[in-house]
Amino acid sequence: MKACTFVSVFAVAAIASAIPVKRDNVDITFIGAADAQFTWSFPTDGSVVSISNPLSISHISSSVDGVQCTFDGIDDSVTTVTGAQTVDVGPPQTQLTGSCVLVNDHPARGLAWVTFIGAADAKFGQGFPTDGEWVQITNPLSISHIESTTPGVTCVFNGIDNSVTRVSGGLVDVGPPQTQISGSCFF
C-alpha cells in the first residue's frame, strides 16, 4: 500500500512539473531621452497598474511574444505594444498606467482589424483580409494615426495625397494627416 501511494504521488509530481507554466508577469522597458530608461513588471491578467516613474518616455519595449500591453500617457497618448517589439510614444510623455494580456501567437488567418484615428479622437475600424488583397477604404475622415493589434500582420495604406503608411503592430503616425483610400494586410 505504501509503495502504491509513493508511486502515485511521484507520478502526479512528474506530470505536474511537465505542465507549461502560464506567464504571470511581463517586464516592459520604458525608454526616454539620452537612453534613460526603467523597467516595470505587469501582470498578464489585464489588470491596470499605475506607473509612478515621472520620466518622459519616447519608446516602450517588450522582449516577450504572446503578450499585448497598452499604456496611457499623461497627455492622453495610448500606446500598444504587441509581442516582442519597440513602439514609439508620440509625443514623448510620462506614462501613467499600463495593462497586459496574453494573446494568441498564431491568430487564425483571415482578417486583421485596423483602427483609423483622426483629430479629436474621431475614429473608425475596418477589417482587411490577411492574404495581401487590396481593399478600398470609403470613410472620408482625415487620418492622423493608424493602429493594428493583430500579431504578425503587416499592413500598407495609401492616402489620398499619395502617402504610404506601413503598420506592423502598434500605433503609427500618418504624415501629413489625410484620408486613406486603400489598404492591404499580410503575414
53-77 pLDDT per residue, tens: 999 999 999 998 778 888 999 998 8
Q: Residue range 89-110: average pLDDT?
A: 78
At residue 16, the pLDDT reads 41
Which CATH number is associated with domain 25-102? 2.60.20.10
Ordered by start, the domain boundaries in the chain are 25-102, 111-186
pLDDT digits 0-9 by tens, 107-142: 455 788 899 999 887 888 888 888 888 999 988 999
Which residue carries 489625410 as its cell?
A: 178
Cell numbers found for residue 119: 483629430
Q: Top-level CATH class of 111-186?
A: mainly beta
Q: Which position has the higher pLDDT, 11 or 96?
A: 96
Residues in CB range of 101: below 8 A, 6 or more apart: 44, 45, 46, 67, 68, 69
Cβ–Cβ under 8 Å, residues 129 and 111: yes
What percentage of the chain carries pLDDT values higher than 70? Answer: 84
Q: With 60 as the cut, is the pLDDT of residue 13 above it?
A: no
For residue 153, is pLDDT > 70?
yes
